[in-house]
Chain A
Amino acid sequence: MAMRQGRGVAAVNYPTGMNLGGDPTQALVHSTPTGNFMVSLSSVDLGQGMKQIMAQICAETIGVPTDRVIVDTADTDTGPHCMGTFASRGTHRAGNAVIAAAREARQVMLEVAAEELEVNASDLDTDGAGNIHVRGAPQRSISIFDTALSAHFKRGRSISGRGMFLIPRSYPDAETGAMKPSTCYAHACTVAEVEVDDETGEVNVLTVKNIFEIGRALNPKMVEQQLVGGSWMGISHALYETTEPYYPSREHGGRDFNEYLMPGPGDLAQTEVIVLERPAADGPYGAKGPGEMCANPQIPAIANAIFDAVGVRIDTLPITPERILRALKANGTENAGLVAH
């Protein structure tokens, strides 16, 4: 009877966007006479912070600070069509649509500013702080606020843009399965360390070190919140969660959070997240969709660490103390089959 430690590794990839494509999203961008920009979408913010990311993407593309951008979304009357927020598609699909719309709006904005400054629009640039200036001559400038006023009241122009993003649908070949499921993939590798009590079968996840490659961290703080949350969900999937603890029996299903097991704060591992960025050719500023992937690699990493610790393979999720104890018992002795890493 002892506490036994082990560690395991797993590596995964994950496709961005609806499988096989065919999932369009549109965006509209317009300026108001306050110099703010409005992004209209019908995508849904699930709490992951989609509105914030769309604002940053629009701001970067137009060349204004993010707090100058307002996002109106999740309304079928005011927002153009979006397939929905699922399949790790929100940032990638809606982000590309916002870039397209914002580029078109930026072009009109620069044309209006060019008329005011009596230069060519192609000679102008934004400073990211709310001003447009002649490239190489920053003193010749106009504020975006004044440009918006001029467009509306003087020049009769609408500083606005339309954006669309669609990956054409791929149809799998019936015989060979030849198909194009996705245009870009995020990646991960996780190393988990566990401690297993070979008397009770209880698993304590000590550390989880996650390496995620996500194309581009558009907002590192929000990347962190999603990746850490995903990592916790992975631990929860590995060791705790199921609506049918004795599947396929339909008995014993949890009906509330007293009966449905999930880790509490004290059960969560020391979690480390390291992010690599290999921009995707078709990603908005290179971003891929890691929203689903980030909960995957912990599950097999923990399963492999448990084997490393106590020498039993639990090939059915979740890996409960009961399953571990039964496997240890079937192994003859608790110490059998130990394979040192």
Chain B
Amino acid sequence: MELRKEYFADERKDDLKEIGQPRLRSDALGHVTGTTTFFADRNLPGLLHLKMVRSPHHHARIRAIDLSEAGRHPGVVRILTADDVPHNVYTILTLIQVGPEDETVLATDKVRWKGEAIVAILADSERAAHEAAERVKVDYEVLPAVLSIDEALAPGAPIVNEYHGQNYYRYDSGESRKVRFGDVEAGFAGADHILEQTYGSGPIEHAPTETTGCIVVPEGSGRYTCYTNTQAMFFTLDNTSIILQMDGAKLHMVGGTVGGGFGGKVDVIVEPIAILGAKLTGRPVSFIYSREEEMQISSPRAAEKLVIKDGVMRDGRIVARYVKAYIDAGAYSRHSPYGAQKSAAHFPGPYTVPNVWVDSHCVYTNRTPSSAMRGFGVTIGDFALEVQMDKLARLVGMDPLEFRFVNAYRDGDMKAHRQPTEGAALIECMQEAARASNWPVSEKYLQMSSARREG
């Protein structure tokens, strides 16, 4: 790595003593010698193991659940169903007033995705819990499922999630979060070229080394200590308090070093049910995802579909940008309404475009709920935007890097969401990229500055 101090040198004092120093991180030795403690490094007498019975169907009505055989299985201590969960229908973002509650902790009358949790087995060993889970008999009436964004939004599509009433999240702005800036139609009318393209992506797994999990210990004080690898301690505590209708003062969340998060440990899935298990049995409970659960059950990055339509002039200026973004939330909201909203704020990217129209949709399908992942709402949008930029450059016969200089945002430029640009540095990154990769760029672009426009 190289620090290029000559850029923005007049905006920075490099006279600090600790900041800017490449100090050895205090936890490095523990990590590389395998002595760092993670939440699962606990051996507790009487520990119970929690295993979920999960839906084999994308969408089905539950007619009946027969626990008799599972309950008799050796080693089984307790089986939890929806009736045991005090506040069974919840949504994570209720803490920031993003509703409605739309997800069951344990399924009641329906399952809405393949893998949805229905019944929790608590047993003396992992093996007993696995075996008992296979002995739970669920009688399903399979329902038609919608598996893609297009199917979900087609007229007459089956409703994925009745708590929403339609297969998309309804914002105060309607079926999408909207950004309207300038007059996009006038922009297209005056453009030399118009290019409309569609982009897509599949779901992506966080792939942390350490899978999601927690160990709960009921304390003599009547409190519950939950050793967890959550990325957000109080998010977990507050949601658990709501789901279990338990005074937050009874909950003690203890984290530590997490073996990789990437957004996959922001959902609150394992802790509430494990704490409930500890409460109802009086014994410590471990609920740790298998690798298969981490990959197919825990929320992935959402699949996305983006339609981008641009109007561009022969000289390379983008004069209008229209974006329709669709985020496949799967069966439940989790963090996806937030992600779609973040996506709306991000367009049209780091470029100054006078006419912008954005509709960003959060769409429900009968799939594993997607949620937070490193850059969600932006990562796939940037893929689409930057491939589109390459296509536009070639369309007008310009070099792709020079084309970006023409359109790059600068300090003071008004963004589509109506905030003036501050602290821009795209131009300088591109100048340095041209230098580092010997990418030939006209001198006038190398003279540009993010801080001011020339002339």
Interface string of A266-290 (1 = CB under 8 A from B): 0000001111111111000110000
Query: B256 is contacted by which of A74, A247, A315 (Cβ under 8 Å)?
Result: A74
Contacts of A47 in B (CB 8 A): 31, 257-261
Quick check: is A202 within 8 A (CB to CB) of the other chain?
Answer: no
Instruction: State A176–B177 Cα separation when bound (angstroms).
Output: 9
A304–B423 Cα distance when bound, in Å, is 28
Chain A, interface residues (CB within 8 Å), range: 35 or more
Interface pick from B63-71, B78-86, B277-285, B376-384: B376-384
Nearest chain B CB to A217's CB is how many angstroms away? 6
Stretch at the interface among B124-132, B159-167, B185-193, B198-206: B198-206
**Residues from chain B with Cβ under 8 Å of A148 in the complex:** none
B341 pairs with A20, CB closer than 8 A? yes
The listed residue (B358, B375, B409, B425) touching A213 by CB distance below 8 A is: B425
Let me know if A161 is at the binding interface, CB within 8 A. Answer: no
Pick from A187, A188, A317: contact of B200, CB under 8 Å: A317
Contact A301 B436 (CB under 8 A): no
Residues of the B chain whose Cβ atoms lie less than 8 Å from the Cβ of A285? 16, 19
Q: Is A1 engaged at the interface, CB distance under 8 Å to the other chain?
A: no
CB distance from A43 to the nearest CB of B (A): 8
Residues of A within 8 A of B58 (CB): 250
Cβ B18 vs Cβ A59 within 8 A: yes
B102 at the interface (CB under 8 A from A): no
Interchain CB contact under 8 A, B17 and A128: yes
Classify chain B's interface size: 35 or more
Is A55 part of the binding interface, using a Cβ–Cβ cutoff of 8 Å?
yes
Q: Does B232 contact A (CB under 8 A)?
A: yes
Q: Does A179 contact B (CB under 8 A)?
A: yes
| A250, B358: Cβ atoms closer than 8 Å | no
Contact flag A75-B253 (CB < 8 Å), given A241-B204, A255-B296, A277-B5: yes
1/0 contact trace for B172-189 toward A, CB 8 Å?
111001111100000000
B22 within 8 Å of A (CB atoms): yes
Collect the chain B residues with CB atoms within 8 Å of residue A216's CB.
Answer: 12, 19-20
Q: Is the CB of B436 within 8 A of A209?
A: yes
Establish whether residues B291 and A256, one from each chain, have CB atoms under 8 Å apart when the complex forms.
yes
Q: Are the C-beta atoms of A273 and B26 separated by less than 8 Å?
A: no
- B251 CB-CB contact with A under 8 Å: yes
Is the beta-carbon distance between A279 and B12 smaller than 8 angstroms?
yes
The residues of A that contact B341 with a CB separation of less than 8 Å are 19-20, 172
Q: Is the CB of B423 within 8 A of A278?
A: yes
Residue of A nearest to B16 (CB): A60
B3 touches A217 (CB 8 A): yes
**Pairwise interchain contact B379-A296, C-beta atoms closer than 8 A:** yes
On whether A220 and B1 interact (CB within 8 A), knowing A55-B26, A177-B416, the answer reads: yes
Contact with A along B409-446 (1 / 0, CB 8 A): 10000001111001111101110110011010000000
At the interface with chain A, which of B44-52, B233-241, B313-321? Answer: B233-241
Contact stretch, chosen from A7-15, A28-36, A107-115, A137-145 = A7-15
**B21 contacts chain A at the CB level, 8 A cutoff:** yes
Q: Which of B19, B292, B349, B428 contacts A12 (CB 8 A)?
A: B349
Residues of A within 8 A of B1 (CB): 220, 223-224, 227-228, 273-275
Residue pair A84, B375 in contact (C-beta under 8 Å): no
Contact A60 B12 (CB under 8 A): no
* A195-234 at interface with B (beta carbon < 8 Å): 209, 211-213, 215-224, 227-228, 233
**A44–B295 alpha-carbon span in the complex (Å):** 23
Partner of A315, one of B200, B257, B377, B379: B200
Is B233's CB under 8 angstroms from A74's CB?
yes
B372 at the interface (CB under 8 A from A): yes
Q: A14-B378, A172-B177, A181-B342 are in contact. Are A42 and B233 (CB under 8 A)?
A: yes
Q: Is the CB of B21 within 8 A of A262?
A: no
| A7 contacts B234, C-beta separation under 8 Å | no
Give, as a whole number of angstroms, the nearest-CB distance from A115 to chain B: 25
Query: In the complex, are the beta carbons of B258 and A46 less than 8 A apart?
Result: yes
Q: Are A176 and B179 in contact (CB under 8 A)?
A: yes
A19 touches B377 (CB 8 A): yes
Q: What's the minimum C-beta distance from B58 to chain A, rounded to whole angstroms?
A: 7
Instruction: Tell me whether A292 and B147 are in contact in the complex, defined as CB-CB below 8 angstroms, given that A213-B428, A243-B203, A243-B205 are known contacts.
Output: no
Bound Cα distance from A286 to B201, whole angstroms: 34
B390 adjacent to A304 (CB under 8 Å): yes
Q: Which residue of A lies closest to B370 (CB)?
A: A243
Asked if B391 lies at the interface with its beta carbon under 8 angstroms from chain A, I say yes
In angstroms, how far is the closest chain A Cβ from the Cβ of B175?
12
> Which residue of chain A has its CB nearest to the CB of B3?
A275
Give the distance in Å from the alpha carbon of A11 to the alpha carbon of B348 in the complex. 13
CB of A247 within 8 A of CB of B20, answer no
Complex contact A291–B342 (CB within 8 A): no
Judged by a CB distance under 8 angstroms, whether B273 is at the interface is no
Instruction: State whether the Cβ of A57 lies closer than 8 Å to any Cβ in chain B.
Output: yes
Q: Does the CB pair A220–B291 fall under 8 Å?
A: no
User: Once bound together, how far apart are the Cα atoms of A261 and B237, in whole Å?
Assistant: 35
A76 to B252, Cβ gap below 8 A?
yes
Residue from the set B179, B349, B417, B429 with the largest chain A CB neighbour count within 10 Å: B429
* A100–B260 CA distance with the chains assembled, in angstroms: 29
Q: Does A66 contact B (CB under 8 A)?
A: yes
Once the chains bind, are B408 and A79 in contact (CB under 8 Å)? no
Given known pairs A76-B252, A84-B235, the reply for A128 and B18 (CB within 8 Å) is: yes
Min Cβ gap B426→A in Å is 5
What are the 7 A-B residue pairs with the smallest beta carbon separation, nearest first? A84-B232, A74-B255, A177-B179, A300-B386, A242-B202, A181-B345, A248-B148
| B residues lining the A interface (CB < 8 Å) | 1-5, 7-8, 11-12, 16-27, 31, 58, 96, 114, 147-149, 151, 171-174, 177-181, 197-205, 207, 230-235, 237, 251-263, 265-266, 291-292, 295-296, 300, 303, 338, 341-342, 344-346, 349-350, 358, 365, 367-368, 372, 374-375, 377-380, 382-387, 389-391, 394, 400-401, 404, 408-409, 416-419, 422-426, 428-430, 432-433, 436-437, 439, 450
List 12 A–B pairs whose Cβ atoms lie within 8 Å, in order of A's numbering: A15-B345, A77-B254, A177-B344, A220-B3, A241-B205, A242-B202, A243-B203, A276-B7, A276-B428, A278-B450, A286-B12, A315-B199
A-B contact sample (19 more), CB < 8 A, given A60-B19, A177-B181, A315-B200 = A11-B429, A82-B234, A84-B232, A176-B181, A182-B345, A187-B424, A191-B439, A216-B20, A217-B20, A218-B19, A224-B1, A237-B204, A238-B383, A255-B291, A277-B8, A295-B375, A295-B379, A297-B386, A300-B384
